[in-house]
Amino acid sequence: MSKIKLVVFDMAGTTVKDNDDVHNALISAMKQFGYPVSRGEANDVMGYPKPDAIRSLLENVEPDHDIISTGYINKIHKVFVEEMIHFYKTSPEFGGTPNAEETFSKLKEKGIMIGLDTGFSKDITDVIVERLGWLKEGKIDFVVASDEVKAGRPHPYMIQELMRKAGVESSDQVAKVGDTVADLQEGTNAKTKFVIGIASGAYTRAELEVSPHTQIIGNLLEVVEIVSSK
């Protein structure tokens, strides 16, 4: 039996297909309020709670910082949420990433629990989880969204909430897997035994390597060997 009891995976870009869909919805929401944002600028804030991402983008493009109130951020976030929910409910491109379900299955065969966390709010997360069917079919065990804890990434609270749900007391029995710098920061701050970046989503291997991590992988199935070997 592996010493690892819980693996926490990110969602969009890690276990849920993302062909810049999140980037595009964020760019679109900002544009509707008169702010041109590039793909690169959107990429810089991937993985973080989306209200925090919007605030960061506004601080770069809005010269009058007095405008950047919580209420204003929430208006932009509402548009983003509506676009994402529509996409995840209707897109024929929606689904899990390559090897996601196989990875879950192999981990569960070893008695390892599966948690998902995300920079999305719960309303978007619920749509994704419901359409995938992973929770009700028992392919994963727990899900936590960024607005269900006191602060999302890079803070460790989502991982800690998943540990509480799973009854895992030591972060040395946890692995974190994600495709963004924010994921690696989250795992590092939670002091998980493994902090695994996957270079198949928002960030390249080189971009991930500059952040604290234990491994950078190119295929989710590599997680099984990593968490089973030590």
Q: What is the pTM of this model?
A: 0.93
Q: In the structure, what pLDDT confidence band is assigned to residue 220 with cuts at 50, 70 and 90?
A: very high
Torsion of CA 14, 16, 21, 22, to 10 degrees: -60
Active site residues: 10, 50
**Mean pLDDT for the chain overall:** 95
Residue with tokens 């030590």: 230
Q: In the structure, what pLDDT confidence band is assigned to residue 147 with cuts at 50, 70 and 90?
A: very high
Residues 25, 4: Cα–Cα separation, whole Å: 36
The secondary structure of 83-133 as a DSSP string is HHHHHHHH-TT-SBPTTHHHHHHHHHHTT-EEEEE-SS-HHHHHHHHHHH-
pLDDT, one tens digit per residue, over 191-218 is 999 999 999 878 899 999 999 999 999 9
**pLDDT reported for residue 132:** 97
Q: How many CB atoms lie within 10 A of CB 113?
A: 21
Residues of the chain with CATH 1.10.150: 21-90
Q: In the structure, what pLDDT confidence band is assigned to residue 2 with cuts at 50, 70 and 90?
A: low
Helix (H, G, I), strand (E, B) or coil at 17: coil
Of 181, 222, 188, nearest to 205 by C-alpha is 181
Helix (H, G, I), strand (E, B) or coil at 74: helix
Q: In the structure, what pLDDT confidence band is assigned to residue 1 with cuts at 50, 70 and 90?
A: very low
Say yes or no to pLDDT of 230 above 90.
no
**Residues contacting residue 131 through CB under 8 Å, at least 6 positions apart:** 88, 89, 94
Per CATH, the number for 21-90 is 1.10.150
Secondary element (H or E) of residue 9: strand 6-10
CATH code 3.40.50.1000 for 6-18+95-229: yes
Of 201, 215, 163, nearest to 10 by C-alpha is 201
Residues of the chain with CATH 3.40.50.1000: 6-18+95-229
